[in-house]
Structure 1
């Protein structure tokens, strides 16, 4: 060993020294292996010692095993129940309309009329979510809403998820009624479907974003990007002259759903929501729909 040689690494295992010596040679730092009793050593020329230490430090950092990814968050139980109640509400409303239940015109009572909402009939932002113009409209919202609501319920719990979906959808209807044309009229759960999509996408994105950097999963923007793509693909309609797709309501539902999802994923709010019983949140959401229809019927009979 040359007199000017300097030790830069030692180990009880020859393989460790071989590995580091080869690495140093590969980056242009000549090295040699020696032995001192039970230890193996890596030597370099004194002039190369500083560079060797730098390469070894970087090598150790890159070779350090990464912490394991955190386990997937446990799915909330009974997510199917929220989706089942959503389907029952839509089916019940469709059945009542199909059977001519009651003496009153449900669309006249409950559709989203900009003029009527602006005149004080605020309950329409809820009742309009349960009305559908045709079977295709109904079946599309029934299937998509049940699936997205079930997925959201698995993350947030069925009661919290559907309460947030309803808040976002009703808020979107209110925005459209108040700031859109007064003569505008619409109905359907599509706004709730896109609110569920926005809620789920933003919650997943925000949940990944709030994890410690070393354990963030790759592609954390994927849920949000996928949600925006689906909004554009499903929510924009066909562009045909007879297309009744309500793009403004869809976009507003997605945006408010995304806002609710992003807020719900914040650590402080998430901890607070854990203390809210799922049955209570779900009952409030369902009660809001029932109360809105009761108020609509009551006001129509009074007038």
Structure 2
């Protein structure tokens, strides 16, 4: 883990910074996006159910959609943490890390999120939860290995920015729904052979079978579109909020550069449907796949953070970052 003895450059207490991200319109926009995602997925499930099972399939799909929407809203955070094998990080194991999260949460004016750790060497982090009162921050063991405390504080501030800006609900719901669609498509391919041609005797016959097969092929693509529906601008917003929380835009910029290199060396391919939750893309990327990237380019994020230094009124010194707040 990062050296607990490293100098902590954040302020203890003091007035809260004037944060500009996560205003009322931003939160309303996220609420509308969440509603659209749930409605779109419900429609897709109903269409698949009707195509594969007729009236009976439609009824089953309707019941499944209700359960799925309820679970996605209330339990998506727990699902996301469980998918990645995240474990609660005991306070006694890393009190300095808990204190850092608590300090940043106080500056953001919200309760301290729960802290989890992912047992992987891939350096990354994500936040989840439907609201600041039900939030969690997860960091990987690899993240704690390669960042110093100043850079780690920048990453944690970014994740708390997502919580404060109400990005975590839509991000976690999108991850859950994308995973459900992908899993359902795989299950139907393995066990739905009879349904795909549920009746060559019925009107349409072979045409219906091909139409159903095409629908199942589209389902994984819809899962990817769900990820892309979570606007990449949310990362810029969380970067800005995180930089305002610490008063040190360069800390997060330096961390992003390290994380990008670390993700290239140690990619993390577990649960691709949740890749957009992380601070940097944990998957293999490049080539045509860059067109479907769920994260904005690291160089552009770093450029924007570097440009914030003058606007924050802070400057580096031998003693660390001099806060403007």
Q: Same fold (TM over 0.5)?
A: no
**Which structure is larger by alpha-carbon Rg, 1 or 2?**
1
TM-score, normalising length: structure 1: 0.31
TM-score, normalising length: structure 2: 0.29
Structure showing greater relative contact order (alpha-carbon pairs closer than 8 Å, 6 or more residues apart): 2
